[in-house]
Every structure is written in C-alpha cells, then in structure tokens.
Structure 1
Amino acid sequence: MGIITAIEAQKKRGSRRSIFVDGEFVAGVHEDVVLALGLAVGQVFDKERLAELLKAETKRKARESAIRLINYRDRSVSEIRRRLIGDDFPEEIVEEVTDQLSRAGLLNDEKFSRDWIKARSASKPMGKTRLAWELRSRGVDASTVDQALEELDEETEYDLALSAAARKLRKMDCADPLTKNRISSFLRRRGFDWDTISRVIDELCP
C-alpha cells in the first residue's frame, strides 16, 4: 500500500499519464483511464487499485483496437472477438468490450448480415447457399443468417443469377456445347440452386 505522489503527462505521448506511488513509477496509462477511475494525488494506492488500473487500460486498448477494425470495414461480433483474442487480449476483457460495442450499436450481426448480402448482390451476385456460408464463416449464427436471407426471395435470387451469368456469357458462345456446363458450374460455385440455374440457362442459351 502507498500514496499517489504524482500524476504526470508523458513527454512523448501527451495523452498518457505516468502514475507515481511514494515517488516510484508504477504505471503509464491513457488520461481517459485516470479520469474514469478518478485518480488523484494523495489517494491511497494498493494492489487492488493497481489491478483495477491495469484492467481499465487494457480494456481501453482493446476497445480502441476494435473500433479501428470496425472503421476499416463492418465486422461481425465473432470477427472482432477473434481478432482481439488473437492480439492477446484476455477473454474477459474481449467479452466486456464486444458487449459494450453491441449495446452502443457499433456491433450488430443482424445489420452486418443484411449489409453483407446487399453489398454482395451489387458487386458479386451470389445465391443463398454461398451467402450463408460466407456469413457463417464470419461467425454469424444460423438463425441470424436465415433471417437475413429471408429478404432474398426466389425472383430476386433468379435476377441475381441471371445478371451473373450474363456477364460470364460475354466471354462465351452458346453455340459451344460446353457453354451450358460452364455456366452451370459457375453459378453453382456462386451458391445458386439447380432450379434457378436451369431457369437461367433456359433464358440465356435456349
């Protein structure tokens, strides 16, 4: 146990503060952590207070890291969780940060799934099977994926398949007996079902 004798701004990083107890340096943390914990010169500082300080600083760093990732592109909750754990943040901290960001609306798997489907439909049309696989691989749970895919009805999926196949067909010739098989394989890889593929082929290469 000791007494906080100084809280000083660091010379090279002005937003960080050095904490001194009984004249000895014990930790360097962001100024937001100092304010959040209400640290002040003259306060008693023990092991429990040090643990609280270090946890708050680690949580701040984890949250900052998560927000940087989200600002780069939207992420699922699971993607953020995996990245933070991969960066050696404790699981307890990771759960607290992801819960906090979810409550703030910065992480939302429902919105993430809808936006993912919309973006894919615009740039690289895919069927439900492929879309579901991509979302599940990003850690979105099955019920959330199914709910998002409900907005993609049969005719919309057909239009997407038709658009994708038409682009592909620009480099092919329907007179070639292999073209139908190639278009079929292409659409299958994109996650479209056989009924949709058959309709598209009948439309483009009757």
Structure 2
Amino acid sequence: MIITKIESQKNLDRVNIYLDGNFAFGLMKEVQYKYGLIENMEIDNDYIEKVLFSEEQLKAKNVALKFLSYRQRSEKEIIDKLKKKGFEDNIIDLTLTYLRNNKLVDDFEFAKSFMRDKINLNKYGPKRIKHELYKKGIPHNIADKVINEYDDEYSNALKLAKRKMPSYKNDDRNVIYRKLGGFLQRKGYSYDCVSKVLKELLK
C-alpha cells in the first residue's frame, strides 16, 4: 500500500492519511512524525497496526493528563475514566505505567492529600476517611497506613462538637447526647472518641 496523500484536518494537530487514493485513517501529527509517514511511502498492515496502536496510546495518555490537570486522582479513578472512554485494557495498563514512571499518579500521596483535605474542609474522622478512600479504589494496605497518620482525633471531634452544640440549645441533655453522638459518628469518629467528647461537653 502507498500513502498517496496526507492532509491536515481542521484540528491542525491531526492529519488524514490516504492509502492507494482512498481515505484510510486520521492521526495525530505527533504519531505521523514518530513513524515517519510521508507521501509515496509504502507501508504494510503490520506497520499500520503499530501506527494505530501508538495513536490509541497517545489518545489515552492525553485523556489521563487532562483528567489529572484538575486535581490528583487515584489509579482506579484513571482506570474508570479510560474504560468509560472505551480504551482497551492493554492501552490502560501502558498509560498507568507512563503515569507512574513520571510520578503523575501515586495512590499513597493521593491518599495523604485526600485525608488532609477531608480533615480541613469536611472535618471528617478517620473511619469516614478510610471508607471514602476505599470508595476511591485505594488499596486497603495504603488506606490503613495513611489513616495511622491521622492526628488528634479527639481534638478534631471536640472542636466540631463545640461548633455544633448551639444548634441543640432547645434540646434536653439526653436528646443532645443522642443527636451529637450520631452526628460525630456519621462524620467518622470512633465510638471511644465520641464517648469521650460527649462526656466532656455534657458533664
């Protein structure tokens, strides 16, 4: 087969490749240059397969990089995103390898950053954060290791409870005990920690 024409698309980063006078496929210019595709070049099906595989790899990499440009992501989030876009497993594996090698994805660093945000912004306790990490696809061993670094559970719970107390000003002690306890447990604080806070505030 002969490349009879290479023309630019409206998207100037892409070109159309014509083989033996007929349109064959579109490509990113980056892939065209990588494989040295020029007019009047003879290529076979094996070479075309390599070219199109490289095109898919580059597309997946660009989707992942754009996805990561908004915020850090877990590996599972990236896998789910690429699967949703229709990429094959082998392309996804190669994309993850590229991201890992370039320190663009790291579940441990993601988990630490996620925990900091949830403590500072949502005032979550360790149990809730661990549950959220599992939902993000963080492996249990990484989530457990990160949660072990959670500091001042009691202090965080006490501050949160003090801020919440005014909303119970018309309730009696037993109602406050039940409502505040439930609130703190939903936020992810342990039973022992919640008991300690309630004992402190409802002396």
- Structure-2-length-normalised TM-score: 0.92
Question: SS state of the match for residue 93, structure 1?
Answer: helix
Question: SS state of the match for residue 167, structure 1?
Answer: helix
C-alpha separation between the residues in 2 aligned to 1:84 and 1:163? Answer: 41
Q: How far apart are 1:174 and its partner, in Å?
A: 8.1
Q: Which amino acid aligns with 2:190?
A: D
**Could you list the runs of 5+ residues in structure 1 that have no partner in the other structure?**
none
Whether 2:153 is the aligned partner of 1:166: answer: no
The superposition leaves residues 97-153 of structure 1 with CA deviations (integer Å, 9 ceiling, x where unpaired) of: 112111111111011000000001101112221111100111110111111112113
Which consecutive aligned stretches of 4+ in structure 1 deviate over 3 angstroms post-superposition?
none
Q: Which residue of 2 is the match for residue 39 of structure 1?
A: 37
C-alpha separation between the residues in 2 aligned to 1:13 and 1:169? Answer: 58
Whether 2:148 is the aligned partner of 1:142: answer: no
Check whether the contact 1:124–1:164 (CA below 8 A) recurs between aligned residues: no
Between the aligned residues of both structures, percent identity stands at 30
C-alpha separation between the residues in 2 aligned to 1:174 and 1:87? Answer: 53
Q: Match for 1:79 among 77, 80, 83?
A: 77
Question: SS state of the match for residue 181, structure 1?
Answer: helix
Q: How far apart are 1:23 and its partner, in Å?
A: 2.6
The superposition leaves residues 129-181 of structure 1 with CA deviations (integer Å, 9 ceiling, x where unpaired) of: 1111100111110111111112113xx11122112222222311286220011
C-alpha separation between the residues in 1 aligned to 2:171 and 2:200? Answer: 14
Query: Please, what is the CA RMSD of the aligned residues?
Result: 1.6
Q: Aligned ranges for residues 94-105 of structure 1 at < 5 Å?
A: 94-105=92-103
Question: SS state of the match for residue 25, structure 2?
Answer: strand
Q: Match for 1:124 among 116, 122, 125?
A: 122
